Amino acid sequence: MKLLLDTHIALWIAEGSDSLSSKVIEIAANPDNSLYISGAAIWEISIKHSKGNLKLHPRDARSAFHLAGIVELPVSGNHAEAVASLPYYADHSDPFDRIMVAQALHEAVPLLTADAKLWRYHATLVIPA
């Protein structure tokens, strides 16, 4: 199965974090699964790093993702355009989440996340971590 990883899930997998649920560990370890990270997640990491909110440099994150077998999914014009069709929720307007939701819907792959607010975009979209 192909899965798009939310930023925090990809970081947790790459570092082998204790925050990973047994479900996510099982998904990540399954050789039949292909794990993807959005180019938008790299952008998010870059912004958080430059603001001092994340020590991890985006170059090191990308290297860790690669070593963990996580493939980058570039953001396309189709993905960006698909954001316009998403509903707006006043309590959830994170642009990084919205582009990842649009990518998951456009690519017809589930999004693996611990963010419970994302299920509202599409009932079959999110696999809870």
- What secondary structure, in 3-state letters, does the chain show? CEEEECHHHHHHHHHCCCCCCHHHHHHHHCCCCEEEEEHHHHHHHHHHHHCCCCCCCHHHHHHHHHHCCEEEECCCHHHHHHHHHCCCECCECCHHHHHHHHHHHHHCCCEEECCHHHHHHCCCCEEEC
Q: Give the model confidence (pLDDT) of 52-85 as tens digits.
A: 999 999 999 999 999 999 999 999 999 999 999 9
Find the mean pLDDT for residues 18-34: 90
Q: Give the model confidence (pLDDT) of 1-18 as tens digits.
A: 999 999 999 999 998 888
* Exposure of 90 in the CB half-sphere (CA atoms within 13 A): 0
Tell me the angle at which helices 39-50 and 58-67 cross, rounded to the nearest 10 degrees: 140
| pTM, to two decimals | 0.90
Find the mean pLDDT for residues 76-102: 93
Token couple for 76: 């396309």
Taking Cα atoms as reference points, which of 98, 109, 105 lies closest to residue 7?
98
Strand partners, 35: 3, 70
